[in-house]
Amino acid sequence: MNTRIKNFGPCKVVSPAGYEYYTPDESKVIFKTVFETDESWQAYKSAGVEFFEQAGPRKEIYFDPKDVTAGIVTCGGLCPGINDVIRGIVMELNYRYGVKRVLGFPYGYQGLVKKYDHKPVELTPENVAHIGRDGGTILASSRGNQEATDMVDRLSLYGVKILFCIGGDGTLRGAKEIVKEIEKRGEQISVIGVPKTIDNDINYVQKTFGFSTAFSKAMEAVECAHVESKGAPNGIGVVKLMGRHSGFIAVNAALASQNVNYCLIPEVDFDLQGKGAFLEILKKRILTRKHAVIIVAEGAGQKFFGKNEERDASGNLKLGDIGVYLKNSIQDYFKSEKIEVNVKYIDPSYIIRSIPANPEDSIFCGFLAQNAVHAGMAGKTDIVIGMWNNVFTHLPIDIAIQERKVLQPTKSTLWRTLLASTGQPAHMSAED
């Protein structure tokens, strides 16, 4: 794993940020922290310890602040905290570094393409001061790929020296194409990614902003499902939550609620029909406890829909609606078993992603924004601001996009805790 960070050159400008403590450029964050045996630790050391570069303000910076125009784009789906990140970037650039020109490019990467005619917005401390109160993004967003040549043309036209790309996997892939085009032209425009996804599935990033708010809000829907399930004979509450590839939101919402009986996620296969499969297990609970609450992540159970090659504007495979499918399957199964059930289905997806950040996420967004500014001013590029072992890091975009982060059921204490909380079997596959 090559974690080397690209720099435009030596930093010779004394930072005007005025911090009492600066992060040395040689400061490292060790990749692995837990070793089951002394032998494994010794083997790890002898093979060469892997590490990430620590994020933070540098004593000397690369860009002279008076020459810097910064740009910000927000791409992909909405997520709690985007406005907090925008605010944090503008405030840090202006008050700490003295950068007076910050442009917000509307509608994601479309804002970097001339033909769409989206005029950039001047962002100042005054007009971003209170945007954290609102959900969404003041710059709006879009999905879909744009030509890197067109985007870099636009950046050069406005004299942008640092571009902050706030978004998820697709956004970071777009940022990588921008980096390649900049390098091809021999220009020096720093590209810094701030990872945004409520699914929390960015590779080698411990936590993404919006995740805490998302599962906290999702828990409200889960509690409503619990009330509904207990309010009718043989009540079953089904809640579909976001999570295309990973079940982090579903699992955390289930743990926070403590009233969830089954949690179905993309990382753990399950069957519906047959001995030992999910519906038979659900039937046993209904006959004994008279109610049940089920969370299903949107990417779970996609095998039931067959092979699908259709993709959305971001290049993601379109998913079958597992929530509706599961609800209908439950109703059909119990009807065939001649057992009356009352199924209530809740899908709060757009509600949990469009609300303002909670206090925990708002603070986290501020940290990400400040560290993004520090990295850009120091002439670093082609990176994502991440967190690893509770320390903020610089992560090469290549590593962030090489694969999705998913929950590891056989190794994860999170999944083990979930099984203990819900009481569901570790496996719900039909017996041969």
Q: Which residues are annotated as a binding site?
A: 77, 143-144, 168-171, 197-199, 242-244, 298, 350-353
Q: CA–CA separation, 419 vs 426, rounded Å?
A: 7
* Cα–Cα dist 212/175, whole Å: 25
Where do runs of H (alpha helix) occur along 258-358? Answer: 278-289, 322-336, 349-353
Chain position carrying tokens 């194409």: 177
199 is catalytic: yes
Helices marked H in 23-81: 38-47
Please name which of 327, 335, 338, 266 lies closest in space to residue 294, comparing C-alpha atoms. 327
Q: Are residues 84 and 210 in contact, defined by beta-carbon separation less than 8 angstroms?
A: no
Question: What six digits make up the tokens of 76?
Answer: 């992909």
Per the annotation, binding residues for substrate are 197-199, 242-244, 298, 350-353
Annotated binding site for Mg(2+): 169
Annotated binding site for ATP: 77, 143-144, 168-171
Strand partners for 239: 295, 346
Q: Which residues fall within 8 angstroms of residue 394, CB to CB, at 6 or more apart?
A: 5, 52, 53, 54, 55, 375, 380, 383, 384, 385, 386
Mapping DSSP to helix (H, G, I), strand (E, B) and coil, where does residue 220 land?
helix
Bridge-based pairing state of the strands 391-396 and 160-167: unpaired
Beta strand 391-396 with 51-54: parallel, antiparallel or unpaired?
A: antiparallel
DSSP alpha helix (H) spans, 354-412: 359-377, 397-400
- Of the candidates 67, 150, 153, 199, the residue annotated as catalytic is 199
Which element (helix H / strand E) includes 169? helix 169-185
* Catalytic residue IDs: 199
